[in-house]
């Protein structure tokens, strides 16, 4: 018997984007705009920073497993604490769902080039992983519904989707859900929901509360807590109770929970973050399209550009790094001809547009 199962042996580990410090050292730059990881360019919620500092005298004590945050979220969304789970980012909870519900003969169903973190987690379980193609860079929910079979256990849907930035609508989700058996678990990954929630066509999962749907959300994006690792989920109490059986007992950390609780009350930081992002989305979309690039309409905090081929995606990234621009080529997601660009500060966005305009790739795209 092999020491490492073949489905683990064949996996590639998740590779984080390159850091600003690394690019500064490599190219001798003073200024770098990191637009690769969908982070908040304003930094971290000030209220969260103060709350984290207040925990430093009690770090010799074990955390309470996120109970205080769960209670606050239950009150905020008119739920019971038993309907809420907290963990180390939404990916931590995603990992618990994979471990809790998948059996050897089960199958996972999602779109091609889904969020890379989910791809790694699902494939690490060794079950059959099935996908359908995008339709105009959107989830093709009708095609997914047709692919449900007797072995389908989990359907993963990200809304807004990473890496395309697109959403599916209320009507599309309602029609899709009519075809989903009760025995099938839907993971609704809403890591970017704050950016889309004001869109009247967006199906905020908290308005559905179906017994076979688990909603996942995070503090990593709009609240600027990516480095702390804090996320949460909502589901039927039976689903949550079983997830809690496999969750690490002291996850999330004391510092992370304090940050999440405080961030929920930081309305001013939330408003500034959303306002900056809306401005950045419009600027990048307009600027890149004026250059002749194909930009997928986004409801998140990034845009995805579609290039003629994989060579142009690699070349664009290679030409931008010496100019101090870090973007995210998407070959690892399964989209070798695409590049994702996060929104930054107004200065970052201007810097990015000017740098792309100088690349040789622009001439290829216009020809």
Quick: pLDDT tens for 148-165: 999 999 999 999 999 999
Parallel/antiparallel/unpaired status of strands 33-34 and 325-326:
parallel
Tokens of 183: 């025995």
* Dihedrals phi, psi of 143, to nearest 5 degrees: -65, -40
Residue whose C-alpha is closest to residue 113's, from 280, 304, 257: 304
Mean pLDDT over 3-29 rounds to 88
Matching residue, tokens 């076979």: 212
The yes-or-no verdict on residue 180 having pLDDT over 80 is yes
pLDDT at 286: 98
Quick: pLDDT tens for 34-43: 999 999 999 9
pLDDT at 367: 63
pLDDT at 12: 82
Ranges of beta strands (E only) in the chain are 33-34, 84-87, 107-111, 128-132, 152-158, 185-189, 213-218, 231-234, 294-296, 302-306, 325-326, 328-329, 338-342
**How large is the angle between the packed helices 267-290 and 346-357, nearest 10 degrees?**
20
CB 209 within 8 A of CB 239: no
Quick: pLDDT tens for 306-318: 999 999 999 999 9
Q: Greater confidence, 205 or 52?
A: 52
Q: Greater confidence, 335 or 18?
A: 335
What is the C-alpha separation between 342 and 358, in angstroms, rounded? Answer: 19
CB 206 within 8 A of CB 77: yes
**Strand, helix or coil for residue 46:** helix
The yes-or-no verdict on residue 1 having pLDDT over 80 is no
Parallel/antiparallel/unpaired status of strands 231-234 and 294-296:
unpaired
The yes-or-no verdict on residue 87 having pLDDT over 70 is yes
**How high is the mean pLDDT of the chain?**
95
CB 162 within 8 A of CB 300: yes
Full-model pTM: 0.95
What is the C-alpha separation between 45 and 231, in angstroms, rounded? Answer: 15
The yes-or-no verdict on residue 66 having pLDDT over 90 is yes
Mean pLDDT over 359-363 rounds to 88
Q: How far is CA 91 from CA 86, 169, 179, 215, in A?
A: 11, 24, 27, 12
Mean pLDDT over 320-325 rounds to 97
pLDDT at 17: 77
Matching residue, tokens 């860079």: 137
Tokens of 15: 């590779």
Quick: pLDDT tens for 238-256: 999 999 999 998 999 999 9
Which DSSP symbol is given to 351?
H
The yes-or-no verdict on residue 11 having pLDDT over 90 is no
pLDDT at 76: 95
pLDDT at 363: 78
Quick: pLDDT tens for 187-228: 999 999 999 999 999 999 888 888 999 999 999 999 999 999
The yes-or-no verdict on residue 366 having pLDDT over 80 is no
* Percent of the chain surpassing pLDDT 70: 99
Mean pLDDT over 96-121 rounds to 96
């Amino acid at each position: 018997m092999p020491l490492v199962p073949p489905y683990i042996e064949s996996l590639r580990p998740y590779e984080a984007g390159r850091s600003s410090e690394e690019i500064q050292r490599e190219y001798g730059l003073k200024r770098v705009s990191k637009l690769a990881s969908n982070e908040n360019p304003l930094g971290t919620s000030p209220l969260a920073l103060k709350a984290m500092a207040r925990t430093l005298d009690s770090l010799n004590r074990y955390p309470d497993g996120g109970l205080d945050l769960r209670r606050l979220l239950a009150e905020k969304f008119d739920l019971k604490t038993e309907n809420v789970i907290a963990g180390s980012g939404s990916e931590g909870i995603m990992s618990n769902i994979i471990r809790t519900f998948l059996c050897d003969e089960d199958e996972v169903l999602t779109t091609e080039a889904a969020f890379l973190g989910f791809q790694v987690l699902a494939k690490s379980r060794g079950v059959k992983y099935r996908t359908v193609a995008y339709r105009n860079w959107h989830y093709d929910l009708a095609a997914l519904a047709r692919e449900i079979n007797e072995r389908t256990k989990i359907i993963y849907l990200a809304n807004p989707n990473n890496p395309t930035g697109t959403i599916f609508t209320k009507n599309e989700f309602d029609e899709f859900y009519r075809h989903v058996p009760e025995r099938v678990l839907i993971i609704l990954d809403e890591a970017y929901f704050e950016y889309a929630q004001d869109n009247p066509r967006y199906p905020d999962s908290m308005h559905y509360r179906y017994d076979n749907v688990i909603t996942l959300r995070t503090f990593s994006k709009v609240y600027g807590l990516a480095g702390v690792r804090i996320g949460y989920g909502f589901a039927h109490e039976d689903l949550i109770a079983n997830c809690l059986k496999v969750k690490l007992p002291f996850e999330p950390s004391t510092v992370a929970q304090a940050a999440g609780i405080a961030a929920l009350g930081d309305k001013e930081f939330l408003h500034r973050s959303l306002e900056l992002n809306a401005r950045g989305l419009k600027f990048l979309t307009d600027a890149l399209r004026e250059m002749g690039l194909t930009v997928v309409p986004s409801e998140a905090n990034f845009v995805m550009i579609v290039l003629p081929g994989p060579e142009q995606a690699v070349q664009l990234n290679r030409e931008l790094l010496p100019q101090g621009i870090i973007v995210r080529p998407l070959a690892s997601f399964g989209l070798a001809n695409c590049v994702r660009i996060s929104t930054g500060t107004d200065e970052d966005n201007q810097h990015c547009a000017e740098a792309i305009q100088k690349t040789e790739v622009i001439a290829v795209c216009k020809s």
